[in-house]
Structure 1
Amino acid sequence: MTRPELSPDFLHATRTSYDAIAAGYAEWTRDELAGKPLERGMLTVFAELVARDGGGLPLADVGCGTGRVTGYLHGLGLGLDVFGIDLAPGMLAEARKDHPGLRFAEGSMLCLDLPDASLGGLLAWYSTIHVPDEELPRAFAEFHRVLAPGAYALLGFQVGDEPLRLTEALGEEVALVFHRRQPQRIAELLREAGLGLVSVTRRERETDGPFPERAPQGFVLVRRPVVSGGCEDGDISAAN
């Protein structure tokens, strides 16, 4: 399959920024999930769905960063073949150090080096947030391509209408844009990419604790329709 060239600007800025903060980021976020029971619950439900309906195919954590969520999914003991993909070599180095038994590979969600219909599940946990609006349909088309029929994808992201731009993080110079988006808009784009909507969740921001938030959080669960009679079934939410 011939793939178009990737737009270099935001990819380069995101990669170099996360390479610069990789060690500090790994330390800062290592225990973050311990204080987020709702997120742990959603990730666990997602993993159980993949274990049930993923046909034994791998689960990819796309934009895995330092691998903390990859490790969490693996540690659930559901027998999932979980691996991580990330843009930044520095983050992957931290992931391999913290989770030496898991697989991690460098790559971009805009052009995944994976065969068609090869995944039983795909997680994009706060990784689409750096993708510009005009490139988001391309990423979601890739999600649809690599998911097997019946496989699930779960996305997490910040909710809002205006992006956040950071030039400094963890004491390092960065050039990061955090695109905040409305859950229904993400759901609409995923449906346009051919993925069936399962659930849309919004959580208000937490202002206390070790990880205070600037914005509410959104979570969208979708599924590639199951092939039936030579074509894909329609949207799951519309069928019930």
Structure 2
Amino acid sequence: MTHPPSSTASSTADSYELPLHGACDPSSSAQGTTPGSFARRADIGGAYAFSSPDTPGMPSASEKTAWDFLPHDWSCSSFAQQPAAEAHASDCVVVDFVTARGVWMRVRAPKNFVAITQLERARLGVVTKEMERVAAREPHLTPLQVRDEIAAGRMVIPANRVHLAHKLDPMAIGRASKTKINANMGASPISSGTHEEVEKLQWAEKWGADTVMDLSTGGNLDECREALCLNSTVPIGTVPIYSMIIGKKLEDLNEEI
């Protein structure tokens, strides 16, 4: 008996190519599309990125981005060309950078502000090593495009700094990135435990899950979550409120709990 050659999720992902605009579309309708084509031309950095026409009657995609919802002590301006140097300001930090589309951004942030999240760093024009890793895993994107999509609020890199200290391989979820697959799992009060959940995680990773959601409602939740983060190369999601309800009746819950 012969067997098909083995393959892994990573090799499949590395060889994946995004379909061309209008490719292999047998539809007779101008609005028709198939999984092998995009009815709209790719527009990375725009509101639509990769998309097909919406269902008739649906509202258009919003042109607003995360830049329109900055913290009250931040501000930003855009320019077609590199802006002239600004006089030194004592109450803020001024950062100039150019986007992947060639637009210059001038961002003003609080003077003593320290960027922690990927979003905060992207807003200051910084390309992190996590953004570079995402671009390497998504060959149709450059590190600058990843940064710009994060700054615009259209992409996230779920890379908790604690998880990054272990085995996490940064990935992105967003309109300009590839579609991702999530695997749900979890222990119940009568079945499974930490060891079994780690084994489930390993199977999920083997078969290509991009993220894993731990929905455990039984066992030692803290121990299980810690074990998953220690062993996982993909982002782990949890439901913290489950920790509140284990071993309690609904009637016992109150504001203090």
Report the TM-score range of the alignment, normalised by the length of the smaller protein. Answer: under 0.3
**TM-score, normalised by the number of residues in structure 2:** 0.23
**TM-score, normalised by the number of residues in structure 1:** 0.25
**RCO (CA 8 Å, sep 6+): is it higher in 1 or 2?**
1
Structure ranking higher in helix proportion: 1
Structure ranking higher in strand proportion: 1
Say which one has the larger Rg.
2
